[in-house]
Amino acid sequence: MTGTPSDFAVVGTDTGVGKTVVTAGLTRWLRDQGVDARAIKPCQTGYPPDDDAQFVADACAADAASTCLRRLEPPLAPAVAAARTDESLSYAELVKGCETAIAESEVGIVEGIGGVRVPLADGREVVDLVADLDLPVILVSRSGLGTLNHTALTVEALRDRDVRVRGVVLNEYEGATVAERTNPRAIEDMTSCTVETVPPIEQSSPASLAAAVRDHLSQTLAVGSE
């Protein structure tokens, strides 16, 4: 491994785009290199059955590979889920919890919730969290038709908050359509971001899925050039 790994966040253009498998793949890669990397989920909604932190732990075969600060049952944005269940959810506590987990790790990897404009708590959003934590981000996007608009707007929202985008990952990339084949270059031209792709991977165990994702991504994403 060349370079010194640094903390970062994995965010998405939407929910279900593959943030967790990318987080798991990069966390596992770093841990395989002897780095004490730890994925941090600020808030998990839809719990159970959704449990992104547990997926990463299973993928890395280590409970210490991930942590989740809060879990809420409704499968909604955290602020909405907390309001519907009449639970308190403090943005300041989420920031503090992330800072503590990052400080306790050699490399902290904060995984977002849904897209970057998803409401977290107290009128703040995911984009506010990564900006306040001063983390560069890896942006996970869909590969097919429609991703140009979603990806470019998300990059713009991040840069408006002075968040550095380390790279864009187009998930489940097959290149089966003209849109898919032309999207990587178009996104590079529109955003000046490095674009990488991950093909569809047969669902099996978290560990094998994370390993497959890891093998398709470059070291630069995990290490960065800061």
Instruction: In whole angstroms, give the CA distance from residue 64 to residue 130.
Output: 22
Amino acid 226: pLDDT: 53
Residue 182 resides in a domain: yes
For residue 93, what is the domain's CATH number?
Answer: 3.40.50.300
Could you read off the pLDDT of 106-144 as tens digits, one per residue?
Answer: 999 999 999 999 999 999 999 999 999 999 999 999 999
Residue 226 resides in a domain: no
Binding region: 16-21, 45, 52, 111-114, 171-172, 199-201
What is the domain count for the chain? 1
Residue 91 resides in a domain: yes
Range of the domain at 175: 8-220
Instruction: In whole angstroms, give the CA distance from residue 40 to residue 110.
Output: 5
Average the pLDDT over 54-67 and give the result.
Answer: 96
pTM (whole model) above 0.75: yes
pLDDT greater than 70 at residue 67:
yes
Residue 25 resides in a domain: yes
What average pLDDT is seen over the chain?
Answer: 95
Residue 127 resides in a domain: yes
Query: Which residue among 38, 41, 70, 142 is the active-site one?
Result: 41
Bigger pLDDT: 223 vs 1: 223
Average the pLDDT over 26-30 and give the result.
Answer: 95
Residue 225 resides in a domain: no
H/E element holding 53? helix 52-60
- Residue 147 Cα to chain centre, angstroms: 17
Please confirm, yes or no, whether 96 is among the known catalytic residues: no
Binding region for substrate: 45
* CB atoms inside a 10 Å sphere around CB 18: 21
Is residue 222 classed as helix, strand or coil in its secondary structure? helix
Residue 26 resides in a domain: yes
